[in-house]
Each structure stands twice: as C-alpha cells, then as structure tokens.
Amino acid sequence: MPAKTVLVVDGDEDQHRICGAFLPHLGYGVLAARTGQEGLRIAREAQPDLVVLDLLLPGMDGRRVFDALRADPATSHIPMLLLTAAVNWQRLWGAETRRLRVQLKPCTPRELAAAVRELIGGP
C-alpha cells in the first residue's frame, strides 16, 4: 500500500486519467471523486494525506467543498491543492489560503508533482 494517498476531486475525466497514471508512478495512492459531495464522503471515510480540488465541480462547487472540509474536525487538518483552470480563482476564493496551494490548469506532470511534494512530501 502506498505511504501517502491523494484524493482527486475533479469532474474532468482527463484530469483523473492524468493523476491516476502519474501519481501512482511517483508512489502515491490515488482516490477519485467526480463531484463535490462524493469528494466530501471519501475525504471523511478515507482520510487522505492531500485533497486535490477543482473549483468547477458538478453540484457542489470546490469552494463549498473546501469550506465543508475545513469546518469538519475530522478533515480540517488535510492540506489541499486547488487545481483549477479558473484564472479568476482569487476573486472567487477571497483571502482563505490556509493549507491551500494553487496550481493553474493546464499544468505539467512535473508541476503537479512539485505541488504535491511541497504539501505532503514524498511517499
């Protein structure tokens, strides 16, 4: 079993394929959620080491997922990587940046790896 697990919460199938292929190659375990509600459920159950979160999700958007994870004592400690194509993310996000790193899409696998390692270290 991998030493560290990353939960990818993104409605984009291509992003799941990229993360699902690349992160295990680096030694991380990967869990996938395609909606905000599913991401919340998996984060609470699995307690991943990192949540990679898109802003634009079907149903519950990424900001609401972030707020719910931070408000829950069971998940408030989990660092998050906001991986988004929304260039106006700062206006949508406000000043909240605690345990949050932002990486704009599209990004290279090298950029993704650097962001993950910055937040949780290597496997």
Reference 52, options 93, 118, 100, 90; nearest CA is 100
pLDDT higher at 47 or 95 = 47
Where does 4-120 sit in CATH, by number? 3.40.50.2300
**What is the average per-residue pLDDT within 62-67?**
90
Find the mean pLDDT for residues 95-115: 77
The string of DSSP codes covering 64-115 is HHHHHHHHSTTTTT--EEEEES-TTHHHHHTT--TTEEEEESS--HHHHHHH
Rounded to the nearest integer, the mean pLDDT of the chain is: 86
Structure tokens at 23: 């992160």
Calculate what percentage of the chain has a pLDDT beyond 90: 51
pLDDT digits (tens, 9 = 90+) for 70-100: 999 999 999 999 887 766 666 555 555 555 6
Which amino acid, residue 45? E
Q: Which residue has the higher pLDDT, 94 or 15?
A: 15
